[in-house]
Amino acid sequence: MGRPENYRMNKKDNSGLKEWAYFRFSVIGGLLARPPDKGDLQKQLEELAKKRWCHPITGQWTYFGVSTIERRYYKALNNDDQVSALSRKLRGDAGRSTVMTGPLIEKH
């Protein structure tokens, strides 16, 4: 299987965080737009897990498990900004150097 026709290269910002959030939203968006009837959620999650999805960065086809889709569904469902809720959070040390300093190196 090659890359799908709708494959998109990374944009100038290499983080791809927003792209991932929209991608995750596209997987669960139908559930959010039309909430399943009581007792039907599991069936719909299983159907979504059978589908293959185009990875937003690499363009490769991928699958998601029921538990992953369910976790993302509830994360978005319980948040006012559903797309942002599905975005990866930046690490607390993002943008800072993790290289050891001179005094620290001398101790070792």
End-to-end CA distance of the chain: 50
Q: What's the predicted TM-score (pTM) here? A: 0.68
- Distance, in Å, from the CA atom of 29 to the CA atom of 13, rounded to the nearest integer, reads 25
Token pair recorded at residue 55: 């990875």
Q: Which residue has the higher pLDDT, 62 or 92?
A: 62
Q: Which residue has the higher pLDDT, 81 or 4?
A: 81
Domain residue ranges in the chain: 17-88
Query: What pLDDT, on the 0 to 100 scale, is given for residue 108?
Result: 65
Q: Say whether pLDDT at 74 is over 70.
A: yes
- Cβ atoms of 62 and 55 within 8 Å: the answer is yes
Query: What pLDDT, on the 0 to 100 scale, is given for residue 103?
Result: 76
Residue 80 half-sphere exposure, CB side, CA atoms within 13 Å?
0
Q: Say whether pLDDT at 62 is over 50.
A: yes
Length of the chain: 108
Split at pLDDT 50, 70, 90, the class of 96 is: confident
Region 58-87: what's the mean pLDDT?
92
- Distance, in Å, from the CA atom of 86 to the CA atom of 18, rounded to the nearest integer, reads 9
